[in-house]
């Protein structure tokens, strides 16, 4: 297939995955805000919670210039529907659709129509016209649409290069997001002392797991209370968890191997895979969780760059 077409399909899948990550993050933020509000003193919104989606996507400065004040409504409006925010669901979805449109002939009708339909339904929506409950419904709906897209992709596309590049895009994006979300967690040296802080940690842990769709995975894996050390272990090292770093790099490496077993990008992917297969969580803690995670992201960028050289005839 054409290198440019592969690039477009890669980015189409990446952008849809980014939409899903953003939607999950906003849902978890809303949950976190409500839980901690009812668990705490109940006096107004916790600005620190609503700041997180902005910090994570690097949009805090732009947000403050244009919206001035942190609140659930403003963050939702900015992150969902603001076309001037390149990280908003609407903007990212538009780019996904542009990528798809540029390679429409390589996609099945099911894939194109599922994405086009989502875009048409969201294109003219604005936050101001919505109730808070409607926002929650919209987030659920968007998540469903992402699942539908993936279902169409894996259920209707031929097992050829197009699908492989989509798969790589999806898992690179996913690994990157999980790593960044974990890296954004505040440092927690030991268990919290007082009951109020313990309560707070419990809800934040819940929100984090739900943001990565891994709450049940945690419960099924560890017969223990929520603990941030274990959460990190689950999301970094457990290959069976679909949003874990290990799970993502396994997919990337395997797909690259099918595409071209001698590709440069595959070498980098194999090294990273080996690191995750052999490392102990204790070691990760010693070198520093954040440094480890950000290094992982850098390696993913390296893989992404090499894919461009290996397959897209970029000089």
Partner 1 sequence: MAQPAFFDEMHSGGGVRAPYGRYADWLHSTPAEALQQRHDQANSLFRTVGITFNVYGEEGGTERLIPFDIVPRILAAEEWAIVEAGVIQRVNGLNAFLHDVYNDQEILRSGLIPPEMVLTNSAFRPEMLGLKLPKSIYAHVAGVDIVRIDDKTFTVLEDNARTPSGVSYMLENRQAMMRLFPDLFSAYAVAPVSHYPELLLDTLRAVAPREVDDPVVVLLTPGQYNSAYFEHAFLAQEMGIELVEGQDLFVDDGEVFMRTTRGPKRVHVIYRRIDDDYLDPLTFRRESTLGVPGLMAACRLGRVTVCNAVGGGIADDKAIYSYMPEIIRFYLGQEPILNNVPTYTPRRAEDLSYVLAHLPELVVKEVHGSGGYGMLVGPAASKAEIEAFRAKLIAEPDRFIAQPTLALSTCPTYVDAGIAPRHVDLRPFVLSGKKTMVVPGGLTRVAMRKGSLVVNSSQGGGTKDTWVLEKPHARPRR
Binding site for partner 1 (CB under 8 A): 1-6, 98, 101-106, 109, 112-113, 116-117, 120, 161, 165, 259, 311-313
Please give the structure tokens belonging to residue 237.
């090292």
Alpha carbon distance, N-terminus to C-terminus of the chain: 18
**Residue 19 CB neighbour total at 10 angstroms:** 26
**Dihedral (CA of 266, 308, 179, 221) sign:** negative
State how far the Cα of 4 lies from the Cα of 12, in Å rounded to an integer: 12
Minimal distance in Å, beta carbon 259 to partner 1?
8
Name which of 109 and 198 has its Cβ closer to partner 1.
109
> For partner 1, which is the closer residue by CB, 2 or 196?
2
- The token duo for 76 is 């939702």
The C-alpha angle with vertex 231 and arms to 226 and 236, in degrees rounded to 5, equals: 170
Distance CA 296, CA 212 (A): 17
How far apart are CB 66 and partner 1 at their closest, in Å?
A: 23
- Minimum separation from the CB atom of position 116 to partner 1 (A): 5
Closest approach, Cβ 73 to partner 1, in A, equals 29
For residue 311, the minimal CB distance to partner 1 (Å) is 4
Dihedral through CA 147, CA 148, CA 153, CA 157, nearest 10?
150
Output 40 or 151, the one with its CB closest to partner 1. Answer: 151
Nearest residue (CB) to partner 1, 6 versus 35 = 6
Q: Which is nearer to partner 1, 101 or 230 (CB)?
A: 101
Within 8 A by CB and 6+ apart from 19, the residues are 89, 92, 93, 96, 142, 146
d(CA 291, CA 55): 17
Q: Which is nearer to partner 1, 30 or 310 (CB)?
A: 310
Q: How far is the CB of 58 from partner 1 (least distance, A)?
A: 26
Cα separation, 206 vs 211, in Å, equals 9
Q: Give whichever of 172 and 217 is closer to partner 1, judged by the CB atom.
A: 172
CA 167 to chain centre: 14
CB of 119 to partner 1, least distance (A): 10
| Whether the Cβ atoms of residue 16 and residue 146 lie closer than 8 Å to each other | yes
């Amino acid at each position: 297939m054409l290198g440019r077409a592969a690039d477009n399909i890669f980015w189409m899948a990446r952008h849809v995955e980014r939409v899903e990550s953003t939607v999950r993050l906003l849902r978890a933020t809303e949950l976190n805000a409500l839980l901690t509000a009812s668990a705490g003193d109940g006096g107004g919104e916790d600005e620190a919670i609503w700041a997180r989606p902005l910090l994570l996507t690097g949009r805090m400065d732009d947000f403050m210039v244009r919206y001035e004040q942190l609140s659930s409504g403003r963050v939702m409006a900015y992150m969902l529907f603001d076309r001037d925010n390149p990280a908003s669901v609407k903007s990212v979805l538009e780019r996904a659709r542009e990528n798809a449109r540029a390679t429409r002939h390589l996609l099945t009708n099911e894939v194109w129509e599922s994405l086009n339909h989502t875009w048409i339904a969201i294109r003219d929506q604005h936050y101001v016209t919505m109730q808070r409950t409607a926002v929650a419904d919209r987030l659920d709906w968007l998540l469903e649409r992402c699942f539908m897209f993936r279902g169409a992709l894996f259920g209707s596309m031929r097992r050829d290069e197009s699908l492989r590049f989509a798969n790589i895009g999806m898992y690179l994006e996913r690994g990157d997001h999980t790593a960044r979300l974990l890296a954004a967690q505040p440092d927690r040296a030991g268990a919290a002392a007082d009951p109020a802080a313990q309560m707070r940690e419990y809800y934040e842990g819940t929100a984090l797991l739900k943001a990565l769709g891994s709450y049940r995975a945690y419960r099924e894996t560890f017969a223990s209370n929520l603990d941030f050390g274990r959460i990190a272990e689950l999301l970094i090292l457990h290959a069976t968890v679909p949003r874990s770093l290990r799970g993502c790099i396994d997919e990337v490496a395997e797909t690259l191997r099918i595409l071209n077993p001698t590709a440069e990008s595959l070498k980098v992917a194999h090294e990273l895979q080996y690191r995750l297969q052999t490392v102990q969580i204790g070691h990760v803690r010693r070198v520093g969780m954040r440094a480890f995670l950000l290094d992982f992201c850098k390696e993913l960028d390296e893989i992404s760059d090499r894919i461009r050289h290996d397959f897209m005839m970029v000089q």
